[in-house]
Chain A
Amino acid sequence: MNIEPIVALEIGTSRVRVFVGEAREDGALMITAVGDAASSGMRKGEIFHFDSVCACVETALRQAEEAADLKINEVYLAMSGSQIEALPSRAEIPVDGEITPQDVDHVKRMAKEVTLPADREILHSIFGQFAVDGLPGVTPVGLVGQRLAAEMLIVHGVHSRMVNLVRVVKALKLEMAEPLFSGLCSAQAALSAEQKHQGALLIDLGGGKTDYVVYAQAKIADAGVIGVGGDHVTNDVARAFRLSTTEAEALKLQHGDAMVSAAGRTRRLPLPAAAGEAPRTAKLSDLQTIVHLRMEETFGLIAARLKRQKLLSLLGAGVVLTGGGAHLKNVAALAEKVFGLPCEIGVPRNASGLTANLAVPEYATGVGAVLHGYRSARTAAEESRSAWKKLAHWFGVN
C-alpha cells in the first residue's frame, strides 16, 4: 500500500505548526518534519487579521518543506474556535426481521440529518453506537429485531469562521484534505485506546481557546471549545501588574502557577520597570491567585457542563491535559481538584519515530491530525482496493 506523506496544518493563536508524517515499512506512522512559527493575526482560535495569518502559515510551511525535502500540496487542517459545539443525535427506524446493511446505512444517514441554525455547519458526524430494540452497543447486521436506532455526535461550528480558516489554505494555493476539530486531533494523539474505553476527558489548553473532548462508555460523548486560553492568563497578569503583553507573558512563563502557595505570600518578584521609574515588585501569591482563578474558572466551566450531562462520573481514566497550557506549573493538580479525578499531562503517542523533543503536550493536535489523515488515507486505499476487487469479480462473472 503506497500512501503519500500526510501533512497537517494547525493554525493556532500563539503558534502555527505543520507536521509531516510518513508511513514506515511496517505500516506505523513516523513524523518526519515539523514547521513551527509564531502566530500573529489570531485571537481566540479565530482569524483577526487575514494577511498576517497567511504570512505565518507560509513560514511554518516552508520550514516543514525544507526539513522534509518535500513540496506540500495538500493539508489536513486542524481548526478550533468558531464556537465549535457538539450535538448528540439519535435516529430510529422500524425494521422487518433481519437487519440488513441497507437498514444500517439508512438509520445512520437519518441520524446525521440534524437541523442547525442557519449560520452553522457540520464539521464531523461521529458515529456512536447502534441499538436494536433498545439494547445498545450491538452490531446490528444479521440480528433480528423491530426497531434499529443509531446514535451520533454532530460536531458543528459557525460556518463563516471555519471558512475563514479554510480561506488561508486556499490563499496559499494548497488543497484541503479535510478540516478537523483540533480537540479531536489532540485526543487522537494523546489518549490510549484503554483510556478511551474507560472514559476520559481531554482538555487542550491552547493560546486562544480551550478544546475539550469527552470519551464515555467507549464513545465520544461531548466536545466543544471555550473561547478562553493562555492569552487570557497573560492578559489578566498584564492588567493586574500594569505590564505589556510581552512582559506579562514572560512573567507568566517564569513564575506562573495554577495553585497558590504559602511561600508565595512572602516571596516578591521583581517587575520590569520603565526607565526612570522606581523599581517595582509583586507578591508571588498575587500572580498565583490571578492564574489560579482563571484556570479554575475555565476548568469549572467544563466541569459544570459535564456534570449537567451526567458525564463526570463516567470518566474512569480521568483527565488528560494537552496544549501549551499543560506546561503551566501545578495545572494538573488544579484539574484534579476541580474535577475530582486523576489528571495527567498528555503527549502525542500512537505514532512512532517521535524523538524526545517532539513528545510535548503542545504537539498533540498536530500529530493527531496527521494520525487521522494517515488512517483515513489507509482506509481509502483499502477501500479502493476492495472496490477494485469487487469490480473485477463482477467482470469475471459476466
Chain B
Amino acid sequence: MAAKSENAQDDVRELRCRVLVAGVGGAAGNVLGHALADWPEPPTVAAVNTDVRALEATAVALKVAIGRTVAKGMGTGGDAELGRLAANEDLDALRALVAGHDLLLLVAGLGGGTATGAAPVLARIAREEGLLVLAYVTLPFAFEGARRQEQAQEGLADLKQSADAVIGLPNQRLHALLPSDTSLPDAFAFVDRMMSAGIRGLWTLLARDNMLNLDFSDLQSLVENSGNECGFGYGEGQGPGKAEQALQGLLEGPMLEKGRVIANSGAMILNVAGGPDLSLAELETIHRRFQEAARPGARISLGAAVLAGWTGRLALTVLAAEHWLPPARPGSLVIPAGPDVPADVPAGRARKNVQQSELQLGGAGDRGRFRDVAPTIHEGADLDIPVYIRRGIRIPS
C-alpha cells in the first residue's frame, strides 16, 4: 500500500494516514513519471487514463484504464464530456482504487479531456469513500487556446465542488517566470518539474516518519477551514546555508508570490525535510522567519522529517490557507452568496466555491472588499476578482 515501512513507528503513522497519489489524464501521468524518477520511497501512485497506450508508457505501476466502451482505449480528443463518461463507466474500479486510503492527492492537467472530465468524478468517489481529497492541478497556457482554457475553468469549478481543497498552478503564471526564448518542450518540462516538486513536497509533509509531529489531523483541520483556498510552496537548499537558501527560494520565489501568500495567511502547515544533520537552530530560524512573514496570530504548524541520504540537503514545504477561519463564528451574520452553498452553513465552510489558490492569476487577495462574502461564481470564474486581473492585463500599463 503506502510507503515501505522500515520500522514499527512507520507502521503506526501509516495507519494514521494512508496516502494515494493518483494522476488523471495524460499530462498527470507524465508528471508522476517525473516525480517517481528519483523518489526513494514512493507512496501508492496510480495513473488513471482512457488512453491505454499512454498508460502503458507511464512509469507508474498502478494503472487504471477507464471508459473502454466510450473511449475504446484511445484518448478523449480533448472532450471533457467523454472523460466524464469514461470515469462514470468505471466507478467501481475507481472506488476500488481509493478504498483503504485516507488521503487522495489528485493530480491533473486541467484542459485535457480525460483530466477535466474524469478528475472531478474520481474526487467525488474518493470523498464518498471518506478520503480527504486534495487536488493539485495545472491550468493551460494561454496559447493552448480559449476552448481549452474554458474547459479547464469548468473542470476547476467541478473539482472545487468535489474535492476538499484545490491547489491550482496556472501554466500561464509559470510562463511569466520563464525566459521569453524558452522552447515549448522546455516550458512543459518546467511545469512538470514544478508539479513533481509539489507532489513530493506534499507527500513528505504527510507521510514521513516525522521528527516533529505533524499529521493527518493537522492537514484536515487546515484544509477543512481554509475555505478551499490553499497556497502551496516548495523550496530546497543545499550545503552550509541550506535553510536560508530554501527560505529564500520559498519566500521570495514565485510559488508563494514573493511571500504575499504567507503574509495574508491565517494558518499554514510547514514541513522541513532534511538529513541527519538537520539542526534545531535551522528549525528555529525557519519557524521564526515564517512567523515574521505571516500575519500576526497566524497558526503555524511545523513538522520535520529526517531522511536518510539527505545530509547537506533541506527541503521546505508549505501549505497555507489564506482565508483560514475558525470553524464557528457565532454571533456574526454572514450571508453566503455562492451558487451552491446552503445558506445555513457557518462562514468557515461557506466558501466552497472560492477561486482557489494564490498561485493562480487572480488569487483571493484580489477579492478586496468582497473577501468576506461568498463569491459570485460564473462558469468557474470568480467574478469578484477584477476582470483585468483575470484577463492578465497589466495595470498600470
Interface residues of A (CB under 8 A from B): 43-44, 46-50, 81, 83, 119, 158-161, 164, 226-228, 231-232, 234-236, 238-241, 245, 282-283, 285-286, 289-290, 293-294, 296-297, 301
B146 at the interface (CB under 8 A from A): no
**In-complex Cβ contact of B388 among A46, A49, A50, A289 (8 A):** A289
Q: Which listed residue (A44, A285, A293) contacts B337, Cβ 8 A?
A: A44
Instruction: Assess whether B335 is in contact with A294, with CB atoms less than 8 Å apart.
Output: no
Q: How far is the CB of B332 from chain A (nearest CB, A)?
A: 8
CB-defined contacts of B378 to chain A, threshold 8 Å: 226, 301
B373 lies within 8 A of A160 (CB): no
Q: How far is the CB of B172 from chain A (nearest CB, A)?
A: 17
Rounded to whole Å, the gap between the CB of B322 and the closest CB of chain A is 16
Beyond A286-B395, A286-B396, whether A293 also contacts B335 by CB under 8 A is: no
CB contact between B344 and one of A160, A227, A289 (< 8 Å): that residue? A160
Q: Which residue of B343, B368, B370, B387 is within 8 Å of A161 (Cβ)?
A: B343
List residues of B whose CB falls within 8 A of some A CB. Answer: 333-335, 337, 339, 342-344, 366, 368-370, 372-373, 376, 378, 383-384, 386-389, 391, 393, 395-397
Would you call A119 and B337 a contact (CB within 8 A)?
no
Closest to B377 in A: A227
Query: Whole-angstrom distance between the alpha carbons of A49 and B333 in the complex?
Result: 6
- Chain B residues, Cβ within 8 Å of A48: 333-335, 372-373
- Collect the chain A residues with CB atoms within 8 Å of residue B397's CB: 283, 285-286, 289
A83 CA / B376 CA spacing, docked (Å)? 10
List residues of chain B with CB within 8 A of the CB of A81: 337
The answer to whether A227 and B386 touch across the interface, beta carbons within 8 angstroms, is no
Cβ contact within 8 Å between B369 and A235: yes
- Supply 5 further A-B pairs (C-beta < 8 A) apart from A46-B373, A226-B383: A119-B343, A164-B335, A236-B386, A286-B397, A289-B395
Q: Describe A's contact surface by its main secondary structure.
A: helix
Asked if B368 and A238 make an inter-chain contact with CB atoms under 8 angstroms apart, the answer reads yes
Shortest CB-to-CB span from A330 to chain B, Å, is: 17
With contacts A286-B396, A293-B393, A301-B378 known, is A240 near B386, CB below 8 A?
yes
CB of A258, distance to nearest CB on chain B (Å): 13
Question: Which of these, B369, B372, B376, contacts A227 with CB under 8 Å?
Answer: B376
| Residues of A contacting B342 in the complex (Cβ-Cβ under 8 angstroms) | 119
Q: Which residues of A contact B384 (CB under 8 A)?
A: 228, 232, 235
Q: Which residues of A contact B369 (CB under 8 A)?
A: 43, 231, 234-235, 238, 245
CB atoms of B335 and A240 under 8 A apart: no
Interface contact A46-B333, CB-CB below 8 Å = no
CB atoms of B333 and A290 under 8 A apart: no
Bound-state Cα–Cα, A159 to B335, Å: 12
Query: Chain A contacts of B339 at CB under 8 A?
Result: 83
Contact B386 A239 (CB under 8 A): yes
| Contact status A239-B368, CB under 8 Å | yes
User: Complex: how many Å from CA A261 to CA B45?
Assistant: 55
Q: A160-B343, A286-B395 are in contact. Are A44 and B376 (CB under 8 A)?
A: yes
**Chain B, Cβ-Cβ closest to A234:** B369
- CB within 8 A of B387: which of A159, A286, A294? A294
Which residues of chain A are near B389, meaning CB under 8 Å?
Answer: 239
Please provide the 3 A-B residue pairs with the shortest distance between their CB atoms, ordered closest to farther. Answer: A227-B376, A160-B343, A236-B386
Measured CA separation A282–B378 after assembly (Å): 30
Residues of B within 8 A of A164 (CB): 335
Residue of A nearest to B333 (CB): A50
Q: Are A240 and B373 within 8 A (Cβ)?
A: no
**Nearest-CB residue, chain B, relative to A43:** B373
Q: Which of A161, A234, A282 contacts B396 (CB 8 A)?
A: A282
* Chain A positions within 8 Å of B370 at CB level: 43-44, 231-232, 235
How many cross-chain pairs have Cβ atoms below 8 Å apart between A and B?
97
* Chain A residue nearest in CB terms to B391: A293
Kindly state the separation between the CA atoms of A106 and B273 in the bound complex, as whole angstroms.
73
Inside 8 A of B395's CB, which chain A residues have their CB?
A: 240-241, 286, 289-290
B-chain residues with CB within 8 Å of residue A44 when the two chains form the complex = 337, 370, 373, 376
Residue of B with least CB distance to A229: B376
Give 28 CB contacts A-B under 8 Å. Answer: A43-B369, A48-B333, A48-B373, A160-B343, A160-B344, A161-B335, A161-B343, A164-B335, A226-B378, A226-B383, A227-B383, A228-B376, A228-B384, A232-B370, A232-B384, A232-B386, A234-B369, A238-B368, A238-B369, A239-B366, A239-B389, A241-B396, A245-B369, A282-B396, A286-B395, A286-B396, A294-B386, A301-B378
The residues of B that contact A294 with a CB separation of less than 8 Å are 386-387
CA distance A294 to B391 in the complex (A): 11
- The distance from the CB of A306 to the nearest CB of chain B, in whole angstroms, is 15
- Shortest C-beta distance, B353 to chain A (Å), equals 12
Residue on A nearest B396 in the bound complex, by CB = A286
How many angstroms from the CA of A369 to the CA of B344 in the assembled complex? Answer: 30
Chain A hits for B335, CB < 8 A: 46-48, 160-161, 164
A52, closest chain B residue (CB): B333
B383 contact set on A, CB distance < 8 A:
226-228, 232, 297
Does A289 lie within 8 Å of B366, measured CB to CB? Answer: no
**Nearest chain B CB to A299's CB is how many angstroms away?**
12
Give the nearest-CB partner of A293 in chain B.
B387
CB pair B393 A46 closer than 8 Å: no
CA distance A357 to B386 in the complex (A): 33
- Contacts A235-B368, A290-B395; A226 near B334 (Cβ below 8 A): no
Contact partners of A240 in chain B: CB under 8 A: 386, 388, 395-396
Residues of B within 8 A of A241 (CB): 395-396
Q: B residues within 8 A CB of A46? A: 335, 337, 373
| Beta-carbon contact of A235 and B386 below 8 Å | yes
Instruction: For A158, list chain B residues within 8 Å (CB).
Output: 343
Residues in chain A near residue B387, CB distance under 8 A: 236, 290, 293-294, 296-297
Closest to A50 in B: B333
Chain A nearest CB: distance from B136 CB in Å? 27
Nearest-neighbor residue (CB-CB) of A282 within chain B: B396
Across-interface contacts of B337 in A (CB, < 8 A): 43-44, 46, 81, 83, 161, 227
By a CB distance below 8 angstroms, the chain A residues around B386 are 232, 235-236, 239-240, 290, 293-294
Q: Determine which residue in B372, B387, B393 has the highest number of CB atoms from chain A within 10 A of its CB, and name it.
A: B387
Q: Which residues of B contact A285 (CB under 8 A)?
A: 397
User: Residues of A contacting B376 with CB < 8 Å?
Assistant: 44, 226-228
CA distance A159 to B370 in the complex (A): 22
Which residues of A have CB within 8 Å of B343? 119, 158-161
Distance in angstroms between the alpha carbons of A245 and B65 in the assembled complex: 53
B334 touches A290 (CB 8 A): no
Q: How far is the CA of A240 from the CA of B391 in the complex (A)?
A: 13
Q: Which residues of A contact B368 (CB under 8 A)?
A: 235, 238-239
